[in-house]
Chains A and B, each alone.
Chain A
Amino acid sequence: MQAKLKDRITTTEAVIINVNYVLAAGVLTLPRTAVEAAGTSDVWISVILCGLLAMVTGAVIAKLSQRFPGRTFFEYIRFIIGKPLGFLLGISVAAYFLSIASFEMRTVQEITGFYLLEGTPSWAICALFLWVALYLCLGGINAVARMCRLIIPIAWGIFLGVSLLSLEIFDLNNLRPVMAEGVGPVWRALRPTALTFTAGESLLFLVAFMDKPKKVMQVVVGGNAIAMVFYLAAVVLSIGAFSTDGVITRTWPFVDLIRSFDVSYLVFERFESLLLAIWILQIFCTFCIAYYGAALGVSQLLNIKFKHCLYGLLPLIYIVAEIPRSINGLFMMGNEIGNWALIVFGILPLPLLVVAYFRRAGA
């Protein structure tokens, strides 16, 4: 038995999964990486551009998946480029999902270990995270989708509230002037932004589960637009508070932003634990989607029971996550994954679509 494809998700659920997949650890670091590359405060323009760009690549992937209704990428790829090549590409995509999952988990481990639980062994933090994720993923895509939906009001509500509170230390002058040095900085920031903002890949298997695959464009546009708002908020608020020169000194600029103000008129005075809490929820969602994608890929490519794949990938994710020896190694890993994604999901789908069109593969 392969993964149950009889599970169906609605269009709204698909949008939510897509948003949740994109929104992850990147929000915490993007302000720094983008400003480092650009050197000016114009990076928010890059974020918007990247969002639009991701919509285009997402649309290509969506179109590709639409040609094969009810089939995931891992199943239909062989119809486009043949079995051996398709198998290789499928495996590389599955491996990509696996490394994304590892990356997210390692980020959780780093942040939790630094801000929340100094002294707790990292394997314990990871183990709990992995076990809960496994338990959820055993429930199939529907459980994952519902989890995403459940988390949204909590996570987004707190995110919004905390962002509004941080306006207290926001200084618009830090974001001005706009485009003082022309498009150069915007262009330079595009790459690091794109690395965290690759969005289309979850569509490779999502479309197969959608009850109305025709509406996939909604998913692409809606998902990216919502995610873009969050990234935009993170970048703008962080730069507004720290200024461009301050942002690049912070390892986790967004966390430090929330650490930078006390509020004396609410129950809590400080919010970073709260923010980390909801962001762990958010990363958990991303992790589960990536984990699900990886397991689905392995299951369909190698014809192994889906549940066995989930179990089997669990230690693998942990081992991959432990490969970086330091925080710089982790960021480097993030970079490499991003590069990989740019090639596989940014560039490759278009030729695939063209080939599929000419070979008349799919509907």
Chain B
Amino acid sequence: MKRRILWLLLLIQCLLLSGCWSSSAIEDLNMEVGVALDIADETEVEEKLKAAGGSYPQQHRFSCTFQFIVPQGAVGSKKEGSQSKNFYNMTETGDSVFEAVRELSLRTNRVPIGHHMKIIIIGEKLARTVTLSELTDFFSRDNDIRPSVLLLVSKGKARDVLNNALPGQTPAFVVEGIFGNQNRNSRIWQPVPLTKVLGPLHSKSSFVLQNIISSGSESKFAGVGVIKGKTGLLGGFLDESQLEGLIWLTGKGQGGFLKTKDPETGKLLNYEIKSMDSTIKANVKDGEISFEVKVESAGRFAEVFDPGGERLDEAIIRRKEKVLQDHAEGLIRGTMNQIQHELHADVAGFGTSLRIHHPAIWRKVKEDWDETFSAIPVTYKVKLNIEEYGASGTSAE
């Protein structure tokens, strides 16, 4: 009997000792928070390593820059006062993202984990030559990296964006955080997680990604990049005001402002958006498709300059509403011109509207929708409602 218990103990011990298969201590991990993908362009470090003999056969398709968090040391020893950077970037040039990640393991002992990856930034040159599905395949397949990671494009070098941050800040978090300012500025496109890209990429429809540019020391959101459905490549950009038009067109803004000049007085007029909504209606008449865009917005005066400094009565407000409406419509037209005639990409959801309301027609045109879309007439109707003018009841002189 005793022997039996001994066996049992032995068995349990074996189990306990052989355990902890997949455990890895958190402090030994390298937390990836952002990735920048660029066309192959080796960094100094890489070149030096290469010169020393660290190379392997590859076609140099692109450079992956990974942003890692540098732990700030234990709490007790923090008093040294040295404000060191709390991130560092490593670039690896290779043929695939996966290879680049694994190649990093030759350079650092820490295992990269992607659970906390926040952003993927793709450089313009790369996005124009390699399809987005190829670039994101690794990220959408991996079990660490979540589909909630946000995608951006960068006009210029994506790597530079990851270099810029105020001391003590991490670029990846800053970029992610800027998306939270959507209620302050209508020139920010909504954050696009990987989740929302999978569908369009598979169905070959066009969409836009926020563009971020870098000046060398700071980064800025500047318009959007248009990914063409058919090719899966970056087709072009919409600048800031075109993005503003796109926001008005789709009603996806959460706030922000609309600035224009009153043609009568030549003075500035600033309208703060409280809410906006847009409906795109698809009409089919005798096989001819046309769209009707109806935009509605409510808001308030943020700044009103007027020579008279008069009381903002109903008549003035109505007049200024008209001015603002015209301006918004102008923005929308500018955007439409760009996407219909320059880029040939439906990124404003016209196709969705047609699909929902006229599924039969949609089936016929969906193959070559982006081209078809370019020739479709669109009418606009913008309705602004200025609800209030804040604490000051007159315009400023």
Q: Point out residues on A near B: beta carbons under 8 Å.
A: 114-115, 117-121, 124, 169, 173-174, 176-177, 180-181, 241-250, 256-257, 259-262, 270, 272
Contact = CB atoms under 8 A, between A and B. Distances in A.
Contacts of A121: 21
B199 interface: yes
B355 A177 contact: yes
Contacts of A257: 195
Given A241-B195, A242-B199, A260 B148 contact: yes
A262 B200 CA distance: 22
B147 interface: yes
Interface in B339-362: 349, 352, 355-357, 359-360
Given A169-B193, A176-B356, A259-B146, A245 B21 contact: no
A119 B21 contact: yes
A249 B22 contact: no
Describe B's contact surface by its main secondary structure.
helix
A244 B199 contact: yes
Given A242-B199, A246-B195, A249-B202, A117 B356 contact: no
A270 B21 CA distance: 24
B34 to A, nearest CB: 14
B315 to A, nearest CB: 40
B381 interface: no
A241 B192 CA distance: 12
Nearest to A239: B199
B195 A169 contact: yes
Contact of B22 (A119, A176, A246): A119
B337 interface: no
Nearest to A247: B199
A186 to B, nearest CB: 14
Contacts of B202: 245-246, 248-249
A244 B205 CA distance: 13
B203 interface: yes
Contacts of A124: 21
Given A245-B203, A246-B195, A256-B195, 12 more contacts: A124-B21, A176-B356, A177-B355, A177-B359, A180-B355, A244-B199, A245-B198, A245-B202, A249-B198, A260-B193, A270-B146, A272-B146
A173 B356 contact: yes
Contacts of B146: 259-260, 262, 270, 272
Contacts of B148: 259-262, 270
27 contacts: A114-B143, A115-B143, A117-B21, A118-B143, A120-B21, A120-B22, A121-B21, A169-B193, A174-B199, A177-B359, A180-B355, A180-B359, A181-B359, A241-B195, A242-B199, A243-B199, A243-B203, A245-B200, A245-B203, A246-B196, A246-B199, A248-B202, A249-B202, A256-B195, A260-B194, A262-B146, A270-B115
Given A119-B22, A120-B21, A121-B21, A246 B359 contact: no
B140 interface: yes
Contacts of B198: 242, 245-246, 249-250
B195 A242 contact: yes
B199 A245 contact: yes
A245 B357 CA distance: 19
Interface in B192-223: 193-196, 198-200, 202-203
A180 B21 CA distance: 51
A118 B21 CA distance: 9
Given A124-B21, A246-B195, A173 B352 contact: yes
A276 to B, nearest CB: 11
Contacts of A118: 22, 143
Contacts of A259: 146-148
B143 A177 contact: no
Contacts of A242: 195, 198-199
A117 to B, nearest CB: 5
Nearest to B355: A177
B105 to A, nearest CB: 15
Contacts of A181: 359
